[in-house]
Amino acid sequence: MQDAATQLREFGIGAMPVLSTAGMLVGMLSERDLVREFSNHGARLADMKVGDVLTKAVIFMSPKADLSEAMRTMNDHGFRHLPILNEGKLLGVISIRDMLALAIPFEGEISKHPVFTKAAG
């Protein structure tokens, strides 16, 4: 588990795909998974296997999906990372950070919308 957490830190990423030896996506390991399991198991988390902690029910996108579909999927499910699969093979992972970078060229259009639209209930 420590190796996986170290990779997240060293690469500056919030989640990473976990693949089988055949290269198929087994699940995603995220910072949220680590926090959830740490709150449940404390220091014993270090002795757990990645396969016991990762999210196995992964929602993914096709490389043919458009950006708005990916954004809606991430928003609807509260994800910050979304794997892109083609015929079961991982092509990559798109993140909220990636989405923000893609939105920058549309800054003029986006700036017309207020940041604060309604108070929390």
| Domain ranges, residue 97 | 2-110
44 contacts 69 by C-beta, under 8 angstroms: no
Q: Can you give the pLDDT at residue 121?
A: 61
Q: What percent of the chain has pLDDT over 70?
A: 94
At 35-84, the pLDDT tens digits run 998 888 888 888 889 999 999 999 999 999 998 899 999 999 999 999 99
Q: Quick check: pTM over 0.85?
A: no
| pLDDT (0 to 100) of residue 45 | 84
Specify the 3-state DSSP secondary structure of 26: strand
Is 64 contained in some domain?
A: yes
Contact yes or no for 44/31 (Cβ under 8 A): no
Contacts of 70 (CB under 8 A, 6+ apart): 61, 82, 94, 99
- Asked if residue 88 belongs to a domain, the reply is yes
The answer to whether residue 61 sits within a structural domain is yes
The mean predicted confidence, pLDDT, of the chain is: 89
- Is 115 within a domain? no
Residue 116 lies in a domain: no
In a domain, 120, yes or no: no
Q: Which of 2-6, 10-14, 114-118 has the highest mean pLDDT?
A: 10-14
Please state the domain count of the chain: 1
Token pair, residue 90, equals: 């991982």
CATH number at residue 81: 3.10.580.10
Residue 71 inside a domain? The answer is yes
Using CA atoms, how far apart are residues 12 and 6, in angstroms rounded to an integer? 10
State how far the Cα of 81 lies from the Cα of 62, in Å rounded to an integer: 14
pLDDT of residue 15: 95
